[in-house]
Structure 1
Amino acid sequence: MDRRELAAFLRSRRERITPAEAGLPAGPRRRTPGLRREEAAHLAFISTEYYTRLEQARGPRPSREVLTGLARALRLSDAERDHLHHLAGAPPGPPPGPAREVRQSILDLLGRLPHAAAIVTSAMFEVLAWNELAAALMEDFSAVPRRERNLVRRVFLGPRPGGRRLYGVSDAGAFARVSARRLRAAAARYPDDPEMAGLVEELLDGSEEFARLWAAHDVSPEPTLRKTFAHPLVGPVTVNCDVLDITDRDQQVVLYTAAPGSPSEEALRLLSVIGTQRMDALR
């Protein structure tokens, strides 16, 4: 355990976080940047005295539970989390769960793709980010609760408006197979994540199809190169499907593009004009 380096690292990470970023009120004028020690301790579920001793290089070696709390409270990246564990003399185990924060450069990229519907998904198939065309093609993800943005939950458990499964895509069955395989591999990468375990349990209890696919223990995905969305306003939209891996976040950028000059390209252009301006009022 390198107490001095650990103390300096904790202090540097604490000072870079604003109260607003941590969901705390700014309060009266602050004499130091970032969070106060008592605020960081509160967010990490440890005592202020213990946290203060760590920052003063006087504390005992933190347990893995304490390190997990510190990493969460200080909003550490995966690399910073690993560094924290090494400084504490406790080599890091697997990440506690899939990353949900999308890099700003990726968010900027989505906005620069006006002719492609693009989303970012986590290792659990949660839609983390999207551009306007993706919201028009699939659904306005900003208008639904977080749990309903999970594509694997949606393909196996619904809802199915008008009998359409997973936005009426032509390959819903193939996506179900691929998602079950990729979810099994992800569950092995995040064995201690309660959210991952809860999702798998929910799917096993609620879908015989998922239970059958899960029991096969397959983990090799099948690439999907083309699919058709049965859109309620503009009709069938056939798109190429390309997936770009964000390896350091265990995330994927999914791009849907139509062949140039095709009716589907015209449909996407129309959707880019219609947008998500309450499509249910237009149906």
Structure 2
Amino acid sequence: MDRIELADFLRRRRAELTPADVGLAAGPRRRTPGLRREEVAQLAGMSADYYSRLEQARGPRPSRQILAAMARALRLTDDGRDQLFRLVGEPPGDRRCEGHVRPGLLRILDRLDDIPAQVVSDIGDVLARNALAAALFGDASDRPAAERNVIVQYFTDPAARELLPPEDRLEQARAHVADLRAVLAARSDDAQATALVARLRSASPEFAALWASHEVAPRRRATQRFHHRIVGTMELDREVLLSDEGDQRLILHTARPGSESYERLRLLRVVGIEDFAGSVG
């Protein structure tokens, strides 16, 4: 581990960011450009003291989990993320397996605070959610890594379906399966996707039956209904932005201005964020 080079790398990357770049308010008395150390620590979910010691070239060797969190907090590119790992003496590894989010998608997500938005991998792993998406779907960060997958949740956790009206649940199940089959058809040798399918076929007879039907239909645009236990039922349009590689998706849910769903979404922004722990997605 090259502590001197690591410290310099972290300081330089931090200085390149502004609070607006990561969705934070600038606040008063900001005398120097860039983020503060405590702001990077907050974004990475680590202690400010730990992060400060890394920048001072006297910190302990970070784990891969900490490195991934710092890469996301500092909005590193793929190459920047790999360099961070190398400075600590860790092989970069598979970025998809470790949930590295494309910085361009994160920059858009940082600026969205009035609609539910989340970054999800092409096989359903939840990589990032804004506060309103957490209010609607639940806080994925509270779940074990293996459970932060919207398809796994839908087919293995009965509570995950309570967010949808009963008459919409079969259609949603079919959409999940058809979308996953489209991904696997595009890269059949992908071990992560293949393992996910095997896990779901074993855990859910419903998934296994739908998988056997061989529907292939990647989802892009749709209108979905969600029943939130605080604000009621909302009809939201689903839009998807793809990363250049196509393996990450920024999913947005919007309501038509002036509609009842629009007003309920505004209400969720006010009251639901404080009570999202009981919601799932």
Give the TM-score band, short-chain normalised: 0.5 to 0.7
- Structure 1 alignment gaps of length 5 or more: 1-14, 26-32, 44-72, 78-96
Match of 2:5 in 1: none
Q: For residue 202 of structure 1, what is the aligned residue in structure 2? A: 199
Which residue, 161, 164, 171 being the options, matches 1:168? 164
Return the alpha-carbon distance in structure 1 between the equivalents of residues 85 and 126 of structure 2.
31
Q: Structure 1 residue 238 and structure 2 residue 220: aligned?
A: no
Is 1:124–1:196's contact at 8 Å kept on the other side of the alignment? yes
Match for residue 263 of structure 1? 260
**The structure with more helix, counted as a fraction of residues:** 2
Tell me how far apart the structure 2 counterparts of residues 156 and 240 of structure 1 sit (CA, whole Å): 23
Q: Which structure 2 residue ranges, 5 or more long, are not aligned? A: 1-7, 11-53, 55-60, 68-82
Answering whether residue 125 of structure 2 is matched by residue 107 of structure 1, we say: no
TM-score by length of 2: 0.62
* Paired amino acid for 2:177: A
After superposition, give the CA deviation of every residue in 1:16-52 in whole Å (9 maximum; x if it has no partner).
Answer: 7995475699xxxxxxx97789x64xx4xxxxxxxxx
Cα displacement (A) at 1:171 = 3.2
Alpha carbons of structure 1 residues 243 and 98: separation in structure 2 relative to 1, 3 Å: farther
Q: Give the percent of matched residue pairs that are identical in Structure 1 and Structure 2.
A: 34
SS in 2 for 1:100: coil
Code of the residue aligned with 1:215 in structure 2: it is A
Query: Root-mean-square deviation (CA), in Å?
Result: 3.5
Aligned to 1:214: 211
Q: Is the 8 A contact 1:98 1:123 kept in 2?
A: no
Larger CA Rg, structure 1 vs 2? 1
* Paired residue total: 209
Indicate how the Cα distance of structure 1 residues 219 and 16 shifts in structure 2: closer, same or farther if over 3 A, else same. Answer: farther
Q: Deviations over 1:133-176 (max 9, x none)?
A: 11111112222222332111122222x23xx6162256332222
- The Cα of 1:182 is off from its aligned counterpart by 2.0
Question: What TM-score do you get using the length of structure 1 for normalisation?
Answer: 0.62
2:92 aligned to 57, 74, 98, which one? 74
